[in-house]
Structure 1
Amino acid sequence: MIMPFLPLYLKELGMEDPAEISLWAGIIFGANFLTAFIFSPFWGRLADKHGRKMMILRSGFGMAIVISLTGLATGPISLLFLRLLNGVISGFIPAAIGLVSTNTPKQHTGQALGILQSGTVAGAIGGPLIGGLMSQAFGYRMIFFVTGAFILVAAIGVMLFVKEDFTPAKEVKTKTSTIQEFKEITARKPVFSIYAVILMIQFAIMGVNPLLSLYVEELSPAANVSLYAGIVVSVTGFANFMTSAWLGRVSDRKGAHNTLVYSLLGVAIFTIPQVFVTDIWQLIVLRFFVGLCLGGLLPAANTLIRMHAPTGMESRTYGFSNSAMYLGSMIGPILGGWVVSLYGVRGLLLITSLILICNVLLVRYKVMQPAEQTFRKQNQHEPN
């Protein structure tokens, strides 16, 4: 509900220079991902000690307070501080991924994560719509208060209705550093390669999405830019929503590694023609097909993380995975904006498709073989 309106909120806080607003909006947008990237492994370690549900509640109640306080910001400095703080305590959805994956039988993990992804995408589609209507009726500050209230309701719902089957790992007397834990986790193939895949997925998605409106402006009449920009974003999200649960079930039957590689290939194939479109309807159709394939990416990658995580270190494994995701989300828009300034949006789409093809090769040669072996062993030991 709130992210599309940050630049407009800065105007309400008294900023007038468009260049200054753009600069601050970029800094404030990335600040949340920066602190989330830094703190995610720490929260993962606590989750392995105290449970994933506790981390969801910590994040839910914390974000409810911080986002509500954001509605009381007095200028860009206070807004930046609150976004940094939000990144420190955020992680509701990543913690939910950890809880769902570790409390679901491994042979059904893909389907469960696919359903969770559908809920996430549904919120991403509906949030800006509701936020847009509310901002017109009540102003931008009210959006932060309502968003905080929604997150509070979600946290209370988890507290009352979500049960977790959690047994803490046995305490090891020898204390280990975050770096040592990272080395231990990534020593298990193909975990490090999956982290790289997740980083590049987020880099490719977040590098393009915020800048698509510039491409829409190039392809459509000026009077309809806002409408068509909304359609391009919504059609991608809707297609993602349609396929997430189904591709999750496919992952359980055929292997998450197969779903990941073919979904990546599909996103790359449907991204390349976007470089050459001449009409807005062509872009809308291609973004729809991209969305169909996007539904299989992160659920499949998170299923693979679950399959290969060391016993007792599942949340820490997801913690580093979340850091890779946040890092990609942070640098994607920054480098995407730089590429657009040099080569335009068409150049960005071409570079993005090349990155996705490299990702396909990474999965094919670094992930497929160990993932296939683990998948076969799992199916041999699990009842049909």
Structure 2
Amino acid sequence: MDSPTAAAPPQRAALTFIFVTVMLDMLAFGIIIPVLPHLIVQLIGGSIAKAAVWAGAFGALFMLMQFVFSPVQGALSDRHGRRTVILISSLGLGIDFILMALAPALWLLFIGRAVSGVCAASFSTANAYIADITPKEKRAAAFGTLGAAFGIGFIVGPALGGFLGHLHVRLPFWVAAGLSLVNFCYGLFVLPESLPKERRSARFDWRHANPFGALVLLRRYPQVFGLAAVFFLINLAQFSLNSTYVLYTDYRYGWGPQAVGYTLGLVGLCSGLVQAVLVRRLMPALGERRLILAGLLLCVGGYLLFGFAGTAWVFVLGIPFLCLGGLAGPPAQAMMSHQVDPHEQGRLQGALTSLASLAGIFGPALFANLFALFISDHAPVPLPGAAFLLAATLLMVAAVLALRVTGNRPLVAAAPIVAPVAALPFNDVSTDTLSHDPSEPYP
């Protein structure tokens, strides 16, 4: 039998591979962030307020596709392995970014965004990959490392996208396509499989792969269900950034693609440091529960600074506080994955990604329209930062819920629900024994 020390190098290598895979994908997504709203403005020839509404529709479509396809990809990865799902998604993204780079009309760009949402659903598979290769006691740190890959992608991606967008608004899409195709080639030749055949699901079941059936999995674990609600609120609040950041900073501070790209790069840098360094250092001292609560409250402070910032330097001051909210993600993700069987990790991560996507279906339209309302002539009061203030309120609710759900007791698995399948039409419940993580930041 192999010793732990003999097994450690392959585990570290696999973690490095998935880190690079996620980083390249996030780099591709990050590059188009500063330019997509401006391309929408160009294609519709409308005002910033109209573009904000369309940007909200684009965001909702993207997340609707993730909501539908995340459990499908999670179930497929449980059945056929993680590597295959990740490779197909990377190839699909590369082709899709080419389509978006060439799109001459808004409707074609809309279709391209839908395909991006389908392919981006593979991020849940990356989380399941981490759960496959990492012992329980090291998962929070490993999820923090994966969060750092997101951060690095957003350090370089938006800054590069802002620079490229300054040259031509469609150039970032071509570069994103190249990165995704490079990622496909990298994974094809380097990325190992993390889920042995003997640990895979016996079959693929569409009951388990539909988004509502996947969410039923969370009901089997009451404390996981409560943390999943916290996870949902975190993601819902985050869409205040995704749907309004570019247009808000343009409206209030006159920022163009370059300024947006550089400040989003700062967001990525701070997020990467939080995920890669602070989570690992603070976890032993504070524990999972305190780290979740600290992250949520610091993030509230960041959103409040964003919402009330009358000048650009005050807005920038809020970025470190917002990024410290990333302290909440890895420990929450670790607490949830500890509860779920190894062969259900893909379905758990798919269910959590579906929750994030569900937030994304409503979040972009909610925050974009709120922003549009409060900068319009019909605004009850002139309050451009209303979307960020609503996000702060949602996170306060999440902090109260997290305080109640985690309590002072260790998480324990609940007994499986015993109910006839007919009573739960989207039932995802089995009678397997229970054992074994989530919360992700961004997009």
Question: 1:82 maps to what in 2?
Answer: 112
CA contact (8 A) 1:122 1:238 kept: yes
Q: 2:151 aligns with which of 108, 112, 121?
A: 121
Deviates more, 1:294-303 or 1:196-205: 294-303
Deviation at 1:362, TM superposition (A): 1.0
Question: 1:38 maps to what in 2?
Answer: 68
Distance 1:162 1:171, change over 3 A: same
C-alpha separation in 1, matches of 2:125 and 2:222: 23
Aligned pairs for 1:204-223 (under 5 A) are 204-212=237-245, 216=249, 220=253
Unaligned runs of 5+ in 1: 379-384
Distance 1:131 1:234, change over 3 A: closer
Distance 1:219 1:337, change over 3 A: closer
SS of corresponding position for 1:166: coil
CA contact (8 A) 1:71 1:144 kept: yes
SS of corresponding position for 2:200: coil
Question: 1:338 maps to what in 2?
Answer: 369
1:112 aligns with 2:145: no
TM-score (ref. length: structure 1): 0.84
Question: 2:46 maps to what in 1?
Answer: 17
CA contact (8 A) 1:257 1:372 kept: no
Deviation at 1:93, TM superposition (A): 3.0
CA contact (8 A) 1:260 1:300 kept: yes
Q: Deviations over 1:183-231 (max 9, x none)?
A: 24421122222222222112112214543456656765x5x67776556
Going by fraction, where is helix more abundant, 1 or 2?
Answer: 1
Paired residue type of 2:234 = I
Paired residue type of 2:110 = L
1:367 aligns with 2:406: yes
Deviation at 1:75, TM superposition (A): 1.0
Distance 1:203 1:371, change over 3 A: farther
Distance 1:339 1:195, change over 3 A: same
Q: Deviations over 1:224-281 (max 9, x none)?
A: 6777655654433322121112243257535433321221122124434555545432
1:257 aligns with 2:286: no
C-alpha separation in 2, matches of 1:347 and 1:321: 27
Paired residue type of 1:37 = F
Q: Deviations over 1:5-58 (max 9, x none)?
A: 12333455x532336544433323332111111111111111111112221112
1:347 aligns with 2:386: yes
Distance 1:352 1:313, change over 3 A: same
C-alpha separation in 2, matches of 1:132 and 1:287: 18
Q: Deviations over 1:108-142 (max 9, x none)?
A: 111121122112112123112212322344x3333
Paired residue type of 1:257 = R
Paired residue type of 1:268 = V
CA contact (8 A) 2:295 2:325 kept: yes
Distance 1:201 1:359, change over 3 A: same
CA contact (8 A) 2:129 2:194 kept: no
Question: 1:156 maps to what in 2?
Answer: 185
Deviation at 1:101, TM superposition (A): 2.4
C-alpha separation in 1, matches of 2:40 and 2:246: 20
Aligned-residue Cα RMSD (Å) equals 3.0
Question: 1:322 maps to what in 2?
Answer: 353
C-alpha separation in 2, matches of 1:90 and 1:185: 22
The alignment covers a number of residue pairs equal to 371
TM-score (ref. length: structure 2): 0.74
Question: 2:420 maps to what in 1?
Answer: none
CA contact (8 A) 1:102 1:306 kept: no
Q: 2:333 aligns with which of 292, 296, 302?
A: 302
Aligned pairs for 1:57-76 (under 5 A) are 57-76=87-106
Question: 1:280 maps to what in 2?
Answer: 312
Question: 2:429 maps to what in 1?
Answer: none
